Structure 1
Amino acid sequence: MSELLFPDASFPALRSELFDVPTQDRLSPAPSQHRPRFLMLYGSLRERSYSRLLTFEAARLLEAMGAEVRIFNPSGLPLPDDAPDTHPKVQELRELAAWSEGMVWT
């Protein structure tokens, strides 16, 4: 075994033959069968919201780069502990979060 990996060979609990050094091939994820999925979230409910405008612009850019984008509209989302988990907006947000591979918050 390499001295670089195990400079101190006096460690009795270590069995170097059982130490499995990962390879790049094993660490790489399987190729995706779909475009990257992003969930876009903004928090302002104002009629002219800069965070909402920024969200739509970022979504436009991500789509131009080949991503699949969905935007969550927070209107009607209850405050934490203010509604049951079965609330439609809570369910919508959970489903979108499960669908996405990345999130952009503005």
Structure 2
Amino acid sequence: MTPTQSSRRAVYRRIAQTSYYDWPAYHATPLYDRSSTAGLAEDVRVLATVWFDHDAHDSIEAFVAHWPLAYVEFDAHDRYTGSTTYEMEVLFRGFLLKELYGWDYETALCSYL
């Protein structure tokens, strides 16, 4: 089923109202900031746990497509500046698909796309 505004709101509301979810992670601890990849990894785990628990969310692609990346600062990790037509957000979504599907190499991602 395709995520709706209502189903996405339910996911984020559940995260906000559950005391043991700290999302985004950089709000919960001074160990992370908006450019922290470890904090982002924690955020993926938290959001995926709640996202796929919702009856309307069963698609990995929809999870990746609706991931809110506005708060993430990729500048510190952007080694592709000027050398590619893709922005870091697009590359992140591609590599997130690769990891979530468990593909060992980018070849499977390229075939998928």
Asked if Structure 1 and Structure 2 have the same fold, meaning a TM-score greater than 0.5 normalized by the shorter chain, the answer is no
Q: TM-score, normalised by structure 2?
A: 0.24
Q: TM-score, normalised by structure 1?
A: 0.25
Larger radius of gyration: 1
More strand by share: 1
More helix by share: 2
